[in-house]
Amino acid sequence: MHRPRIKEAIVSVSPNFSLEKQGIVTPAKIFWNLGTAHLVESALANGEGQLAKDGPLVVQTGKHTGRSASDKFIVRDATTENSIHWGKTNVAMDPAHFAALKEDFIAALAAKEKLYVADLFGGSQPEYRVNVRVINELAWHNLFIRTLLVRPDADELADLVPEYTIIDLPSFRADPVRHGCRSETVIAVNFTEKLILIGGTAYAGEMKKSVFGILNYLLPEQGVMPMHCSANIGPNGDTAVFFGLSGTGKTTLSADASRTLIGDDEHGWSDTAVFNFEGGCYAKMINLSPEAEPEIFATTKRFGTVLENVVMNTETREIDFNDNSLAENSRGSYPIDFIPNASKDNLGPVPKNIIMLTADAYGVLPPIARLTPDQAMYHFLSGYTARVAGTEIGVTEPTATFSTCFGAPFMPRHPSVYGNLLKERIAKGGVTCWLVNTGWTGGKATDRGIKRMPIKATRALLNAALDGSLNDAEFRKDPNFGFEFPIAVPGVDSKILDPREAWSDKAAYDATAQKLVQAFIDNFEQFEQHVDAGVREAAPKAA
């Protein structure tokens, strides 16, 4: 098929701090700090994607449709030896291997005909932001990261000096022997050289999560709590923070038309503000509907949105969000101001409420529960959700997933560093904490006829929690987990509020609940020596 060539136009702001000053010498044509329209034109001209009917750019990421967690490494040296929590998540790379990898990345840059470079900010609160330079071989990747990070004003660009640099080359193929990695895919972080190298994957989310990792490493030393969360502000100036793993509803529940969105994924909590690390959103697209998520759905009909691995009819250019044949993890990235009620400054006051989201596929947890500060720290360190591998034949049980701090892959320091920061800030601000289950009710997700918690019920409970009216409800103590849950809330079917009562088979509920309790206890053994007695006593109780 003949593709018309679109002329590329340079409307860039070239910085005074050049690539050569970073030791990067390449004959490639450099496109500096291009805007959205020119990056979309370049992506189309390069054959990187197609425009959908209503204007978004549609791209595919190949075999990598999500993060390659097993291919991520941190250089272990004098800087990181005692500051990184080494283990299964934070895997060490030898400095010599990184040096070889860097040499080969620089050589790969020298062989490119064109490169796209963006100078950006990670973090919206000026006192705590970091300057990030991103070098891409793909125009759509440059558009993605320009959309997701905070964009400097034009007059800030010329004199912006990068503190950290990301080089992102999907065409690069790592050599496990030479580079000390696991496969041809590599994400290597060097905190001493302030350099991140990403190769062998076209999944754009690796870039944004790398910046998240940088801030998660730097901010605790400044007394700022980095968080994998969404956040919004109520009409009375009350900020709410939503922790949760992928698929639990962080993006959906924070995009509330009655509240002002601060951001959907990554934030810092300083003495004066909750501030977004980003300038855009990265939402799941699978099964997206205008009824359930109208604000997010509207972004898919905007020029400037990038849709990854969604299925599009090549003739009509219509999108089918229910088709998961390319990926279950289909994604859309868009500027935060595509959400009509987004915060102009990407920040808000310190929070009054913290919501910890879980999608409990066991059907054991109530739709909402109130947590004490000790219980909040316990559940924060646990980071629980449960998944169902619905496409696998013979799957009869959910799988419990524990990701500490609701974001273990992005937390370089020991989890107790973040947990203690959270507990201190909860106590200092008198914050009310809630556990919200967006998963299943009345049985396990694998049981016949069992459905997920109605989103209308979840929103009604959240609204009552955030406006303070839920505190006036009558609460009952959960015998397994020790937290309190309401027994009656206006507008919500009382049958789903008590999870045991929602099950027709009470004995099956009790057995399933004890199985989940034991999973919590087993998982928390790794943290027991790092927390005080109050947090240990907040653990669920085995029968």
pLDDT surpasses 80 at 542: yes
Give the per-residue pLDDT at 396. 65
pLDDT surpasses 60 at 103: yes
pLDDT band per the 50, 70, 90 thresholds, residue 397: confident
Give the per-residue pLDDT at 8. 36
pLDDT surpasses 90 at 257: no
Tell me the HSE value of 301 on the side-chain side, using a 13 A CA sphere.
9
Nearest to 370 by CA among 354, 381, 359, 386: 354
Catalytic residue among 246, 270, 403, 512: 246
Quick one: 281 exposed, middle or buried, by C-beta within 10 A (0-12, 13-18, 19+)?
buried
Q: How far apart are CA 163 and CA 127, in angstroms?
A: 14
Nearest to 354 by CA among 414, 430, 257: 430
pLDDT band per the 50, 70, 90 thresholds, residue 7: very low
Concerning whether 228 is annotated as a catalytic residue, the answer is yes
pLDDT surpasses 60 at 245: yes
Q: How far apart are CA 19 and CA 135, in angstroms?
A: 10
DSSP assignment string, 433-486: EEEEE-SB-SS-TTSTT--BPPHHHHHHHHHHHHTSGGGGS-EEE-TTT--EEE
Q: What is the DSSP letter of 303?
A: B
Query: Average pLDDT for residues 458-472, to the nearest whole number?
Result: 95
Concerning whether 522 is annotated as a catalytic residue, the answer is no
% of the chain beyond a pLDDT of 70 = 96
**Across 317-406, where does the E strand assignment appear?**
319-320, 331-335, 347-348, 351-358, 368-371, 384-387, 399-402
Concerning whether 173 is annotated as a catalytic residue, the answer is no
Concerning whether 89 is annotated as a catalytic residue, the answer is no
Catalytic residue among 209, 267, 413, 425: 209
Q: How far apart are CA 268 and CA 214, in angstroms?
A: 12
* pLDDT averaged over every residue in the chain: 93
Q: How far apart are CA 137 and CA 145, in angstroms?
A: 13
pLDDT surpasses 90 at 2: no
Query: Average pLDDT for residues 299-318, to the nearest whole number?
Result: 97
Between 13 and 316, the more confident residue is 316
List, for residues 504-514, the tens digit of each pLDDT value.
Answer: 999 999 999 99
Q: How far apart are CA 393 and CA 327, in angstroms?
A: 18
Query: Average pLDDT for residues 89-110, to the nearest whole number?
Result: 97
Give the per-residue pLDDT at 6. 32
Catalytic residue among 265, 360, 374, 478: 265
Helix locations, 11-168, DSSP H? 36-45, 95-110, 139-148, 154-157
Between 278 and 9, the more confident residue is 278
Give the per-residue pLDDT at 289. 93
Catalytic residue among 251, 300, 305, 458: 251
pLDDT surpasses 50 at 390: no
pLDDT band per the 50, 70, 90 thresholds, residue 351: very high
pLDDT surpasses 60 at 197: yes
Concerning whether 500 is annotated as a catalytic residue, the answer is no
Question: Cα–Cα distances in Å, from 357 out to 229, 244, 254, 274, 386?
Answer: 10, 5, 11, 18, 11
Give the per-residue pLDDT at 389. 60
Give the per-residue pLDDT at 10. 39
Q: What is the DSSP letter of 317?
A: -
Concerning whether 76 is annotated as a catalytic residue, the answer is no
Query: Average pLDDT for residues 389-404, to the nearest whole number?
Result: 70
Tell me the HSE value of 176 on the side-chain side, using a 13 A CA sphere.
6
Residue pair 383/408 in contact (Cβ under 8 Å)? The answer is yes
Query: Average pLDDT for residues 266-271, to the nearest whole number?
Result: 96
pLDDT band per the 50, 70, 90 thresholds, residue 12: low
pLDDT surpasses 50 at 171: yes
pTM value is 0.91
Nearest to 296 by CA among 306, 304, 284, 308: 284
Residue 246 in tokens: 């992928």
Concerning whether 370 is annotated as a catalytic residue, the answer is no
Query: Average pLDDT for residues 511-527, to the nearest whole number?
Result: 97
pLDDT surpasses 60 at 341: yes
**Across 194-298, where does the E strand assignment appear?**
195-199, 225-233, 239-243, 260-263, 266-269, 274-276, 280-284
Give the per-residue pLDDT at 429. 86
pLDDT surpasses 50 at 353: yes
Q: How many Å is the Cα radius of gyration of the chain?
A: 23
pLDDT surpasses 60 at 5: no
Residue pair 74/90 in contact (Cβ under 8 Å)? The answer is yes
Catalytic residue among 141, 228, 284, 379: 228
List, for residues 419-438, the tens digit of each pLDDT value.
Answer: 999 999 998 888 999 999 99
Query: Average pLDDT for residues 309-316, to the nearest whole number?
Result: 96
Residue 202 in tokens: 């076209």
Dihedral pair phi/psi, residue 44, rounded to 5°: -65, -40
Q: What is the DSSP letter of 367?
A: S
pLDDT surpasses 60 at 491: yes
Give the per-residue pLDDT at 464. 96
Cβ contacts of 72 within 8 Å, gap of 6 or more: 91, 187, 188, 189, 409
Catalytic residue among 38, 42, 61, 67: 67
Quick one: 466 exposed, middle or buried, by C-beta within 10 A (0-12, 13-18, 19+)?
buried
Catalytic residue among 64, 97, 250, 352: 250
Catalytic residue among 64, 129, 267, 331: 331
% of the chain beyond a pLDDT of 90 = 88
Number of other residues whose CB lies within 10 A of the CB of residue 258? 12
| Cα dihedral value 320, 323, 326, 332, nearest 10 | 50
Q: Give the distance from CA 346 to its chain's centroid.
A: 16
Concerning whether 250 is annotated as a catalytic residue, the answer is yes
